[in-house]
Amino acid sequence: MKTSLITIDGRLSASGLKIALAASRFNSIIVERLVDGAVDYLVRHGLEEENLTLVRLPGAFELPLVCQKLARSGKFDGIAALGAVIRGATPHFDFVAAEAIKGLAQVALDTGVPIGFGLLTTDNVEQAVERAGSKAGNKGADAAAAMLETIRVLEQL
């Protein structure tokens, strides 16, 4: 890579940031693992626990509204949205998943507050378990990592 490039990279220190996790109760067995993964990632990257707020909400459909309120409050540098929509669990999977995804993207764009996307959308429970701390890693930790990097990149732009 050319060394003369101006490159902006996010530092991965969470120290001094104020972060909210918004976590749905639906499919809580899975979502708790996502919460654990996000907390573990953030604390290992220097976040002081007193700067971390965990908000519980009913289901994925409620994530955008809760994240919008958190983002507009001005109290948080970033938010990680954590939930699990599992196709087998309901015929309205597609509606719930689509509205949650669209809504979360809209909140980030409207408010400028980075939102880590930690909403699993899977065909079955096995796939969700794989992404909640087993074979396929932990998407809660991944969402926290993406949020942190985005916060630090935006600070420099």
> Binding residues for ligand INI, per CB under 6 A?
24, 26-27, 58-62, 83-86, 89-90, 92-93, 96
Q: By beta-carbon distance, which residue lies closest to ligand INI?
A: 59
User: For this structure, is 92 an active site residue?
Assistant: yes
* Burial of residue 40, with CB atoms counted within 10 A of its CB: 0-12 exposed, 13-18 middle, 19 or more buried: middle
Confirm if 120 and 60 have CB atoms less than 8 A apart. Answer: no
Q: How far is the CB of 122 from ligand INI (least distance, A)?
A: 9
Q: How far is the CB of 121 from ligand INI (least distance, A)?
A: 9
The residue from 92, 105, 124, 137 that is catalytic is 92
**What are the percentages of helix, strand and coil residues in the chain, rounded to 5?**
50, 20, 30
Confirm if 98 and 119 have CB atoms less than 8 A apart. Answer: no
Query: Which one, 128 or 151, has the nearer CB to ligand INI?
Result: 128
Query: Which one, 93 or 154, has the nearer CB to ligand INI?
Result: 93
Could you list the active site residues? Answer: 92
